[in-house]
Amino acid sequence: MNSCGRLQAALSHVQPDRVPVDFGGTHVTGISASALTQLRLAVLGEKDYRVRVHEPYQMLGEIDDKLAAALGIDVVGVLPPKNMFGFENKDWKPFTMFDGTEVLVPGNFNLTPDGKGGWFIHPEGDVSVPPSGHMPKGGFYFDAIPRQGPIDDDKLDVNDNLEEFGPLDDDTVNHLVSEAGRAAAAGKGAILSVPGTAFGDIALVPAMWRKHTKGIREIEEWYVSTAIRRDYVYAIFEKQCEIALANLARLTKELGDNVQAAFTTGTDFGTQNGLFISPDAYRDLYKPFHKKVNDFIHKNSNWKVFIHSCGSVVELLPDLIEAGFDILNPVQCSANGMDEKNLKKTFGKDLVFWGGGVDTQKTLPFGTPDDVYKQVRERIELFNEGGGFVFNTIHNIQAKTPLKNMLAMFKAISDCGK
């Protein structure tokens, strides 16, 4: 099998020749630029190579074709041309992170000092407007800065929370078509990050890419609003869904079978110990729109639909399956009730597990290489039986992850393939 066929087999619950591997296909399956720099040097030995930071919000590194080939990575991400701070990934320039890692960042990656040794970053790289992100001194990624004015409930306008949604422009569509075509030509599997389909994803509510924001943008206020302003949020979702379906009509037609999976939402519904939302609230506020989007994708393409939701979501999985989701990520096995054996036994016929390959809270950052190797082998042998598994860690690999542990992980993946 080539990479595309391998991914397609796994998504169809057919045993592939080996487990397909994703690192860098999405913004929730990547590697910190700091950790990636160490990994690449160890694997390829190119001392002068600078990793590109293609997702500056989390400071994720771009996995180039040469490294992907060396590591056996099968999946390519089909990502929008602009990043989370609203500027394009082009005109690369050198930058040094707090830990001394030398990387490349986009030309409009413009910072201003916070007065305490940290950095502010600005939407579209425009330092004349208030910052939308902050990295404290010694940090490895940015925190969003919500820019929300006083709320007057009598004057709330649904359109204020819809400013970031709209018809996709030709440049964006052409970029996505080109990236998907490039993946297909290389025989790679591809996952599309669909713009505008994440209903209430708290990482997106502050809209860090916009110079000015209206509506409800502060994180706590948004969560409270799903209860006390339920009709307002529902009306946002209704209009957002209408726009999303119109965009999907174009994307499914123009990208076609060059894409195998569609990442539609990263809204988190779980905590370490249980659900963040009641099943009834999910069914009322989110499920109707998830089902509309997923039904449209299934009717108009061969794509499988990918949901990212951290935490203990086992209680919600039957609803997610009913809503039409095919793929679960990050598969946080360390959360309450998310035992990997039970997940595979109970939901393995309905869901593809994209993630869960190794614990990134304890094992990968703090275990020994033997601990990492053992857990990776066990997870692959369990999840990959009969297909239905794409290897990835449980969320992004963070900075300061020991190099020896990352190497042990990739050795285990390789050995399982043999």
Write down the pLDDT at residue 149.
Answer: 87
Q: What is the DSSP letter of 129?
A: S
Q: For the chain, state the CA radius of gyration.
A: 21
**Mean pLDDT of residues grouped by 10 in the chain (418 residues)?**
97 97 98 98 96 98 97 97 97 98 98 98 98 98 94 94 96 98 98 98 96 95 96 98 98 98 97 95 98 98 98 98 98 97 98 98 98 98 97 97 98 92
State how far the Cα of 247 lies from the Cα of 172, in Å rounded to an integer. Answer: 11
CB 189 within 8 A of CB 264: no
* Cα 240 to Cα 396: distance, rounded to the nearest angstrom: 28
What tokens does 153 get? 């409930």
CATH number of 3-32+65-84+148-417: 3.20.20.210
Reported as a single tens digit per residue, the pLDDT across 342-400 is: 999 999 999 999 999 999 999 999 999 999 999 999 999 999 999 999 999 999 999 99
Query: Following CA atoms 327, 328, 331, 337 in sequence, which dihedral angle do they give, to the nearest 10 degrees?
Result: -120
Decide: helix, strand or coil at residue 24: coil
Q: Show the tokens assigned to 39.
A: 């990994």
Task: State the Cα–Cα distance between residues 365 and 401, nearest whole angstrom.
Answer: 5
Residue 35 pLDDT = 98
Q: How far apart are CA 366 and CA 304, in angstroms?
A: 34
pLDDT of residue 418: 74
Listing DSSP states for 163-217 in one string gives: TT--PPPHHHHHHHHHHHHHHHHTT-EEEEE-TT--TT-TTTTT-TTSSS--S--
Cβ 145 vs Cβ 132: under 8 Å? yes
Q: What is the rounded end-to-end Cα distance, in angstroms, of the chain?
A: 14
Q: How far is it, in rounded angstroms, from Cα 290 to Cα 176?
A: 22
**C-alpha distances in angstroms, 402 versus 27, 231, 262, 368?**
21, 47, 31, 9
Give residue 413's pLDDT.
98
